[in-house]
């Protein structure tokens, strides 16, 4: 089968997570990605333990699958000439230097547009190419704090919490891929490349979704609610006799089926018949559900609700999630030699992903990339 992006050339001048995540996604889809690293390497190579067998951190391997690695010191004329040559032949360039940081090397968009006017050039920074914060460094944790998600995450009376992954970085990487593919489509129509200005802060705001909409509608600031949902009830974590699980009733019919499966009569009470009433009366409703659930084991509850068609599930740890029978069937856990890697979740019926099983050692592909014929048009 054909890889959808096979033949596209990507030059990645990015490090850490957001830019490399975009590059890895393109590589998974078949693009040829050359990752340019400083002589000391991407700093995530040292973000361990744990470390991969090649000495690079597992963190680095999570976001640099399927790329060619070369080392280039932009202060070295030969290295800089090589990078400019690659940029002149590339379809896509991804960079996450500070605003204006590449201009002195003539690797900025304006300079490269002169030698490659069809280039799709994607800049990723903390706060974007302009604005009062544009010169600030932007780390995911800071962006989460400033962008509202931490104030929404955590228990009602506890401290704000960040999610367990680099939320803003990964979303920015994925939005960058969307923008890059849109730029390529526009290139077909206009014959011109484009400069994409991606900011972690913009992305973090952009995925506030219903919480932002609620604020715009009412002027009320959404608050932390732990594992409860602000506008759907019941939709949260519940304790059972031997642990905890999640029940998510997204509509009235599911609520009725939940009550019937658990031998509750709550759906017959007027104050609980509609979701907006359940939201209003959640403090009365939830203790009644909780009392019943604590009489049952996790397996009993899940069997009853799944048989009734009510969304419910266990709270898995990472190992349980990756080794779940559904995960294994869908091949999200891929084996390569004696190790495993996390597969890309995109699946096509008549296209294939690249078999990108691991990240390369630092500068492993310098010999190939420096050949005169590399990226030369046939």
Q: Spell out the domain ranges in the chain.
A: 9-207+345-369, 235-319
Please tell me the predicted confidence (pLDDT) of residue 48: 87
Q: Could you report the per-residue pLDDT of 254-267, keeping only the tens digit for each?
A: 999 999 999 999 99
Element (DSSP H or E) covering residue 36: strand 32-37
> For the range 226-229, what are the long-range contacts, defined as Cβ-Cβ under 8 Å and sequence gap of 24 or more?
226/154, 226/155, 226/156, 228/282
User: Can you tell me the distance from the alpha carbon of 5 to that of 13, in angstroms, rounded to the nearest whole number?
Assistant: 19
User: Can you tell me the distance from the alpha carbon of 283 to that of 170, in angstroms, rounded to the nearest whole number?
Assistant: 36
Task: Give per-residue burial for 197-221: e unless 16+ CB within 10 Å, then b.
Answer: bbbbbbbbbebbeebeebeeeeeee
Between the alpha carbon of residue 191 and those of residues 95, 116, 130, 289, 375, the distances in Å are 22, 11, 26, 61, 20
Q: Could you report the per-residue pLDDT of 290-327, keeping only the tens digit for each?
A: 999 999 999 999 999 999 999 999 999 999 999 999 99
Residues 237-244 have a mean pLDDT of: 96
Please tell me the predicted confidence (pLDDT) of residue 65: 92
Q: Is residue 349 predicted with pLDDT exceeding 70?
A: yes
Please tell me the predicted confidence (pLDDT) of residue 330: 94
Q: Could you report the per-residue pLDDT of 184-199, keeping only the tens digit for each?
A: 999 999 999 999 999 9
Please tell me the predicted confidence (pLDDT) of residue 340: 83
Confidence of residue 336 (pLDDT cuts 50, 70, 90): confident
96: three-class secondary structure by DSSP: coil
Q: CB burial class (10 A; 0-12, 13-18, 19+) of residue 364?
A: middle
Please tell me the predicted confidence (pLDDT) of residue 85: 95
Query: In the numeric block, which tokens belong to residue 128?
Result: 């974007």
Q: Is residue 88 predicted with pLDDT exceeding 50?
A: yes
User: Can you tell me the distance from the alpha carbon of 139 to that of 146, in angstroms, rounded to the nearest whole number?
Assistant: 11
User: Can you tell me the distance from the alpha carbon of 13 to that of 34, in angstroms, rounded to the nearest whole number?
Assistant: 9
| Beta pairing class for 243-248 and 92-95 | unpaired
179 within 8 A of 103, measured Cβ to Cβ? no
Catalytic (active site) residue 363: no
The DSSP symbol for 159 reads -
Residues in contact with 178: Cβ distance below 8 Å, sequence separation at least 6, in sequence order: none
Residues 19-37 have a mean pLDDT of: 97
Please tell me the predicted confidence (pLDDT) of residue 319: 93
Q: Could you report the per-residue pLDDT of 131-148, keeping only the tens digit for each?
A: 999 999 889 999 999 999
In this structure, which CATH number among 3.30.1540.10, 3.10.180.10, 3.40.930.10, 3.40.640.10 belongs to the domain 235-319?
3.30.1540.10
Active-site annotation holder among 42, 91, 108, 169: 169
* Average pLDDT of the chain, as a whole number: 94
Record: fold of 9-207+345-369: Rossmann fold (3.40.50)
End-to-end CA distance of the chain: 23
Residues 191-210 have a mean pLDDT of: 96
Confidence of residue 55 (pLDDT cuts 50, 70, 90): confident
Q: What percent of the chain has pLDDT over 70?
A: 99
- The residue written with tokens 């709270």 in the block is 315
User: Can you tell me the distance from the alpha carbon of 218 to that of 212, in angstroms, rounded to the nearest whole number?
Assistant: 10
Residues 207-216 have a mean pLDDT of: 95
Between the alpha carbon of residue 47 and those of residues 57, 98, 163, the distances in Å are 6, 21, 19
Q: Is residue 126 predicted with pLDDT exceeding 60?
A: yes
Please tell me the predicted confidence (pLDDT) of residue 373: 86
Q: Is residue 378 predicted with pLDDT exceeding 60?
A: no
Bond preceding residue 50 cis, omega within 30 of 0: yes
Q: Could you report the per-residue pLDDT of 163-186, keeping only the tens digit for each?
A: 999 999 999 999 999 999 999 999
CA angle 135, 92, 140 (to 5 degrees): 40
Predicted TM-score (pTM) of the model is 0.92
């Amino acid at each position: 089968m054909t890889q959808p992006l096979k033949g596209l050339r990507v030059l990645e001048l990015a490090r850490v997570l957001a830019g490399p995540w975009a590059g890895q996604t393109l590589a998974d889809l078949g693009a040829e990605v050359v990752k340019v690293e400083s002589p000391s390497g991407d700093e995530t190579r040292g973000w361990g333990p744990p470390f991969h067998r090649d000495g690079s951190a597992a963190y680095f391997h999570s976001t640099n699958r399927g790329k060619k690695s070369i080392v280039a010191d932009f202060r070295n004329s030969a290295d800089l000439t090589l990078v400019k040559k690659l940029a002149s032949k590339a379809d896509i360039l991804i960079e996450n230097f500070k605003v204006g940081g590449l201009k002195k090397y003539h690797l900025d968009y304006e300079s490269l547009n002169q030698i490659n006017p069809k280039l799709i050039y994607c800049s990723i920074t903390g706060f974007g190419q302009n604005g009062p914060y544009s010169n600030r460094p932007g780390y995911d944790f800071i962006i989460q704090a400033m962008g509202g998600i931490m104030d929404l995450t955590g228990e009602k009376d506890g401290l704000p919490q960040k999610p367990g992954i680099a939320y803003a970085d990964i979303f920015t990487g994925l939005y960058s891929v969307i923008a890059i593919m849109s730029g390529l489509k526009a290139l077909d129509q206009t014959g011109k490349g484009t400069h994409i200005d991606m900011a972690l802060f913009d992305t973090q705001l952009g995925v506030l979704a219903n919480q932002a909409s609620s604020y715009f509608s009412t002027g009320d600031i959404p608050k932390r609610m732990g594992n409860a949902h602000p506008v759907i009830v019941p939709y949260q974590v519940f304790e059972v006799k031997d642990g905890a699980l999640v029940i998510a009733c997204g509509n009235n019919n599911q609520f009725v089926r939940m009550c019937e499966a658990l031998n509750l009569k709550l759906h017959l009470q007027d104050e609980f018949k509609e979701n907006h009433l359940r939201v209003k009366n959640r403090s009365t409703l939830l203790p009644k559900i909780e009392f019943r659930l604590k009489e049952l084991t996790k397996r009993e509850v899940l069997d009853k609700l799944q048989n009734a068609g009510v969304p419910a599930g266990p709270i898995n740890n990472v190992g349980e999630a990756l080794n779940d029978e559904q995960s294994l069937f869908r091949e999200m856990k891929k084996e390569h030699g004696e190790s495993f890697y996390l597969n890309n979740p995109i699946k096509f019926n008549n296209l294939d992903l690249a078999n990108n099983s691991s990240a390369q050692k630092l500068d492993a592909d310098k010999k190939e990339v420096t050949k005169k014929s590399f990226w030369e048009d046939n």
